C-alpha cells in the first residue's frame, strides 16, 4: 500500500518538479531509446494529479494525466511493470493511452525511488507495437532507472550546495571612505572551487582569494572551509592565519592530493600599506596611477602540500590612484592573450572597478571559460 502523502512529500523534497531539462538525465533517455530500440522513453515523476516528465523522447509533451496511467500503476506495484500487448490485455485495452494518442501497445517501466525509498516516478520505455523483455533487458531497465535515481538525487544535492555557496559569498562589500571596492565570481560549472572574501575590521581591509584545485562539489566544500578558517579570529596576523590554515589542510587532505593557492592580505585604510601572504597564487598586482604594474609576490608554496612551510608576510603599498587587483587563473582564459595587462588597464580606466568586474564575468560567461573566474579590485581614490 502506497502512503501517498509521504510519497508526495518525498517528491517535493527532491525539488525537481517543473525544472529545466538536465543533460545527464537526457543522456540516459537517449541511451535507453538506442538500447531497447523503442520510439518513446520517459523519466516520469508522479505529481498529485499529473505525470510530469523530467526527460522524454517521442511523447510530444512534458505532462499528461496521472489517473489511469501506466506509470501510476508501476509506482503502485512497487516493481517493474511490463505490458507486452496492451490492446490484448484486459486491464489496459480500454485505457485512453491505448485507444488514443500515443496508441500504446507495449510498456515497460521501473520505479524511481527518492533517497528515503519512496517511489516517486518511473523510467519507462514505450512502443506502438507489441513486444516483450527478456531477463537481461529487465535487468538493464532496472539499472538505468537506478542511474536516473542517482542523477536526480545529485541534482538536488548540487542545488543545495549552490545555495549554500552563494550564502557564504560576500553579500555586501564593505563601503569605506577613500576606496572603491568591487568583486565577483562565476563558476565554470554549477559550483565553484574559488572563494573570495573582503572584510573591513579595525581600520583594515582583509582581502582574500583562494583557488582549490579541481572543480565541483569537493573543491567547493574545501573552499568554504578555507573561507571560514581565514575569517576566524580576525585579529590574528595574516601569516599566522595562513600557517594555521595550511596545517589544517595538511592534517585533513594530504591523502586526498588536493592543494589550494591563496592570496591573503591586510590593507591599512589610512596609509594604504598592504601586508600579504601569497601561497602559490601569484595573481595579485598593484596597478599604479601612472599605468605601471607591480606583481605582489612572496615565495610561498600552495597550501595543503604537506611541506610544513613557514609563512612570512610581504609588504607593498597603495598610493592615491593605485589599485589592488587579484584574480583566479580562470581570468587569464578570457583576457587578450597578447596583452592581458593592457586589456585590464583599459577596461578599468573606462568602466571603473565595478564595471571592470562585471565585464570580466560577462566575458567568462560569453566565452564559457573552462575554469572558475574570480576578480577583486580595490582602488584608492586619487
Q: Quote the CA–CA distance of 26 and 9 in Å, as a whole number.
A: 25
Three cell numbers, residue 86: 496492451
CATH code: domain of residue 42? 3.30.450.40
- Could you tell me if 308 and 221 lie in one domain? yes
Laid out side by side, the sheet with 314-317 consists of 194-201, 204-212, 260-268, 273-279, 314-317
Q: Report, as an integer, the average pLDDT of 54-79.
A: 94
Domain that holds residue 110: 4-162
pLDDT in tens, 270-289: 999 999 999 888 899 999 99
- Could you tell me if 22 and 110 lie in one domain? yes
CATH code: domain of residue 340? 3.60.40.10
Where is the domain boundary, 142, 162, 182? Answer: 162
pLDDT score for 64: 93
- Could you tell me if 128 and 179 lie in one domain? no
**Secondary structure of residue 238 in the 3-state scheme:** helix
Q: Which of 69, 84, 91, 73 is nearest to 137 (CA)?
A: 84
Where is the domain boundary, 112, 127, 162? Answer: 162
Asked whether 47 and 17 are in contact (CB, 8 A), the reply is yes
Give the gyration radius of the chain's Cα atoms: 28
- Could you tell me if 144 and 216 lie in one domain? no
pLDDT in tens, 144-167: 999 898 878 766 655 555 555 555
Q: Quote the CA–CA distance of 344 and 215 in Å, as a whole number.
A: 26
Where is the domain boundary, 97, 130, 162? Answer: 162
Domain total for the chain? 2
Q: What is the pTM of this model?
A: 0.60
- Could you tell me if 226 and 302 lie in one domain? yes
- Could you tell me if 288 and 368 lie in one domain? yes
- Could you tell me if 87 and 174 lie in one domain? no
Q: Report, as an integer, the average pLDDT of 58-87.
A: 94
pLDDT score for 79: 93
pLDDT in tens, 190-229: 666 788 899 998 899 999 998 887 655 666 677 777 877 8
- Could you tell me if 85 and 232 lie in one domain? no
- 221-230, 331-340, 367-376: range with lowest mean pLDDT: 221-230
- Could you tell me if 61 and 202 lie in one domain? no
pLDDT score for 306: 61
- Could you tell me if 201 and 234 lie in one domain? yes
pLDDT in tens, 108-152: 999 999 888 899 999 999 999 999 999 999 999 999 999 898 878
Amino acid at each position: 500500500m502506497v502512503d501517498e502523502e509521504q510519497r508526495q512529500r518525498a517528491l517535493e523534497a527532491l525539488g525537481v518538479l517543473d525544472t529545466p531539462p538536465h543533460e545527464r538525465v537526457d543522456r540516459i533517455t537517449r541511451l535507453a531509446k538506442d538500447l531497447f530500440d523503442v520510439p518513446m522513453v520517459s523519466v516520469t515523476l508522479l505529481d498529485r494529479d499529473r505525470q510530469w516528465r523530467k526527460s522524454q523522447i517521442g511523447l510530444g509533451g512534458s505532462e499528461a494525466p496521472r489517473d489511469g496511467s501506466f506509470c501510476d500503476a508501476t509506482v503502485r506495484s512497487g516493481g517493474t511493470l511490463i505490458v507486452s500487448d496492451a490492446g490484448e490485455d484486459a486491464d489496459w485495452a480500454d485505457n485512453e493511452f491505448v485507444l488514443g494518442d500515443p496508441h500504446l501497445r507495449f510498456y515497460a517501466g521501473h520505479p524511481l525511488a527518492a533517497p528515503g525509498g519512496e517511489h516517486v516516478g518511473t523510467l519507462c520505455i514505450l512502443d506502438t507495437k507489441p513486444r516483450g523483455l527478456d531477463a537481461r533487458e529487465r535487468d538493464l531497465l532496472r539499472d538505468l532507472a537506478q542511474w536516473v535515481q542517482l542523477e536526480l538525487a545529485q541534482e538536488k544535492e548540487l542545488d543545495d550546495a549552490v545555495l549554500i555557496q552563494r550564502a557564504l559569498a560576500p553579500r555586501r562589500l564593505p563601503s569605506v571612505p577613500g576606496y572603491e571596492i568591487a568583486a565577483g565570481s562565476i563558476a565554470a560549472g554549477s559550483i565553484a572551487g574559488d572563494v573570495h572574501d573582503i572584510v573591513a575590521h579595525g581600520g583594515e581591509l582583509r582581502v582574500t582569494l583562494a583557488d582549490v584545485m579541481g572543480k565541483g562539489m569537493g573543491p567547493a566544500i574545501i573552499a568554504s572551509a578555507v573561507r571560514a578558517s581565514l575569517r576566524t579570529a580576525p585579529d590574528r596576523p595574516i601569516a599566522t592565519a595562513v600557517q594555521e590554515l595550511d596545517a589544517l589542510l595538511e592534517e585533513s587532505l594530504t591523502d586526498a592530493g588536493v592543494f589550494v593557492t591563496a592570496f591573503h592580505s591586510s590593507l591599512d585604510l589610512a596609509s594604504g600599506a598592504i601586508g600579504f601572504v601569497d601561497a602559490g597564487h601569484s595573481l595579485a598586482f598593484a596597478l599604479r596611477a601612472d599605468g605601471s604594474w607591480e606583481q605582489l609576490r612572496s615565495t610561498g608554496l600552495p597550501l595543503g602540500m604537506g611541506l610544513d612551510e613557514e609563512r612570512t608576510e610581504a609588504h607593498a603599498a597603495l598610493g592615491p590612484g593605485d589599485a589592488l587587483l587579484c584574480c583566479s587563473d580562470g581570468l587569464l582564459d578570457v583576457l587578450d592573450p597578447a596583452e592581458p595587462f593592457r586589456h585590464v588597464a583599459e577596461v578599468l580606466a573606462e568602466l571603473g572597478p565595478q564595471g571592470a568586474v562585471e565585464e570580466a564575468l560577462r566575458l567568462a560567461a560569453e566565452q564559457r571559460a573552462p575554469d572558475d573566474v574570480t576578480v577583486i579590485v580595490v582602488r584608492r581614490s586619487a
